[in-house]
Amino acid sequence: MAEKPDADFIDVSHHNRQSGLPLAFYQMIKNSGTKSVVVKVSEGTYHVDPAASVNIANAKQAGLVVNAYHFAHYNSHLKAKLEADWFDKKLRLVGFNKTKDGYVVVDIEAMNLSQSPKKLTGYTNTFIKEMKRLGYPKVDIYTGSYFYNNRLDPESLIITKPWLASYPKNPIKNKPTAIFSHGKGAWQWTSDYYFLGLKNYGNFDASEDYAGKYTKQTQSSTKGVKQIKTVSLVNYMKSKNMNPSYNNRVKLAKSYGIINYSGTASQNIALLSKLKSGVKPAKVNISNSKLTTKTTTNLKTKQTFYKVKFGDTLSEIASKLRTTVSKLKSVNHIKNANIIRINQRLKIPRSNSTSLTTSKKYYKVNRGDYLGKIAIKYHTSVRKIKSLNSLKSDIIFPNQRLRIK
């Protein structure tokens, strides 16, 4: 019987756990043979992953090599530079060390990216050059195998041996189905991997590392990280004559990029590890370093906004936000419900501005789409999409509306 591929490394974000994964999880996966993680840190020029700081701290505590990724939305050379600058600020905010930690990766898969391989490759090269100018010696790209070979020009990219995704029905160890047309790097072979004994943490994207980019770093900031012993955060702060009050811990957590601090074990261990290791909060421009989500809030009116993406319709947005088309039209003074623009900021009715993460999510199929491609984009699986839509085969059609969450 053919052997399944290894889970040399996994990638994680707040989708795995909103407040970040605990130290115990990272310790157990390291013991199972996983060598590293790739942590989502930012997206576009408006989002920082709320679990990034905790995930980075706890993965380091477990002795894993830590890499980080940014989800790209650039559509010009200028925006590629701005996104690289944003990524740099957020990396520093959440405690990533550009010289000691692993690779920084640009995730290229958004549907609103340029349809021209030449342009998109040029923008991507600009992003990579800017990251290197900012002092990051190890830069890579992640995308789907189809995207890499059709929406990019591999020969013109200034990096080789990329990290590519391809999810075959029966993956086999060391036999990637991803097409590496310019050097074999790493293969993300599943989005449904789970660790034995840790099924309660859910499924993960797992990858095999062929070039050693992600798992064989010669220098890692895990060396010298003081391992956490059986001492509580509060007791440690008291021993150092620090104010251990909850309010002060909230302020400290925020300064280290730990968003929505509520005193969970994961957050406390992460904050404790930063304090014990002597890591100082990043000195970054506060006005460009606030922890934000994909929605933004006007502090004067407590009004939440939604940014229109490629393929959105007002009815789909209303469904996502658990509101109605008529309410969206009213608060945004929209006369024609069929006319909205990409990047347009829509006010969300206040009664619907609480939890967007639990709402259903839909996708409108474009020409050239297939289930595997859609699954990669939304970090899910073909099986889940078929189940949510009662599909009996993999056949889909342009303009078909698929539920993906």
Determine contact, residues 372/169, Cβ cutoff 8 Å.
Answer: no
Distance separating alpha carbons of residues 344 and 125, to the nearest angstrom: 28
Per-residue pLDDT, 173 = 96
Q: Is the pLDDT of residue 200 over 90?
A: no
Token readout for 261 is 């601090």
Neighbours of 327 (CB within 10 A): 16
Q: Identify the weakest region by mean pLDDT among 1-5, 130-134, 278-282, 400-404.
A: 278-282
Q: With a cut of 70, say whether residue 354 has pLDDT above it.
A: no
Strands (DSSP E) found in 95-183: 104-107, 139-144, 163-165
Contact 88, 124 (CB under 8 A): no
Residue 55 has pLDDT above 50, yes or no: yes
How many whole angstroms separate alpha carbon 238 and alpha carbon 64?
29
- pLDDT top residue among 302 and 10: 10
For residue 231, how many C-alpha atoms fall within 13 Å in the half-sphere facing its CB?
A: 17
* pLDDT averaged over every residue in the chain: 83
As a whole number of angstroms, the distance between CA 94 and CA 40 comes to 11
Q: What's the pLDDT at 295?
A: 39
372 or 25, which is more confident?
25
So what's the pLDDT on residue 350? 65
CA angle 190/193/195 to nearest 5° reads 155
Is 67 in contact with 35 (CB distance < 8 Å)? Answer: no
Whether residue 180 contacts residue 189, with contact meaning beta carbons closer than 8 Å, is answered with no
Look at residue 299 and tell me whether its pLDDT is greater than 60: no
Nearest alpha-carbon partner for 103 in 222, 212, 30: 212
> Which residues lie closer than 8 Å to 78 by C-beta, 6 or more apart?
none
User: Residue 283's pLDDT is what?
Assistant: 56
Least confident of 127-136, 239-248, 316-325: 316-325
**Percent of the chain that is helix, strand, coil (3-state, to 5):** 30, 15, 50
In this chain, the answer to whether the domains covering 1-289 and 296-403 adopt an identical fold is no
Q: CA-to-CA distance for 191 and 204, rounded, in angstroms?
A: 5
What is residue 15's predicted lDDT score, i.e. its pLDDT? 87
DSSP state string for 283-305: ---GGG-----SSEEETTTTEEE
pLDDT: is 192 or 163 the higher one?
163
* CATH classification for the domain delimited by 296-403, as one of 3.40.190.10, 3.30.70.1450, 3.90.76.10, 3.10.350.10: 3.10.350.10
Q: What is the mean pLDDT of residues 62-78?
A: 95
Residue of 197 and 305 predicted with greater confidence: 197
Q: What is the structure's pLDDT at 301?
A: 37
- Closest Cα partner for 90 from 70, 65, 60, 110? 70
Is the CB of residue 19 less than 8 Å from the CB of residue 54? yes
Q: Any idea where the domains of the chain sit in the sequence?
A: 1-289, 296-403
Whether residue 300 is predicted with pLDDT greater than 50 in this model: the reply is no
CATH of domain 1-289: 3.20.20.80
Kind and range of the H or E run holding 346: strand 345-348
**Which of 337 and 73 is assigned the larger pLDDT?**
73
Q: Which residues contact 353 (CB under 8 A, 6 or more apart)?
A: 295, 303, 304
pLDDT band at 252; cut points 50, 70, 90: confident
* Burial zone of 163 (CB within 10 Å; 0-12 exposed, 13-18 middle, 19+ buried): buried
For residues 241-261, average pLDDT: 82
Residue in 90, 23, 45, 95 with CA at minimum distance from that of residue 252: 95
Q: Which residue has the higher pLDDT, 144 or 17?
A: 144
Among candidates 210, 162, 173, 165, which has minimal Cα distance to 191? 165
Report the alpha-carbon distance of residue 77 to residue 24 in Å, rounded: 42
Count Cβ atoms below 10 Å from residue 349 Cβ, excluding itself: 18
Alpha-carbon torsion 7, 37, 110, 141, what sign?
Answer: negative
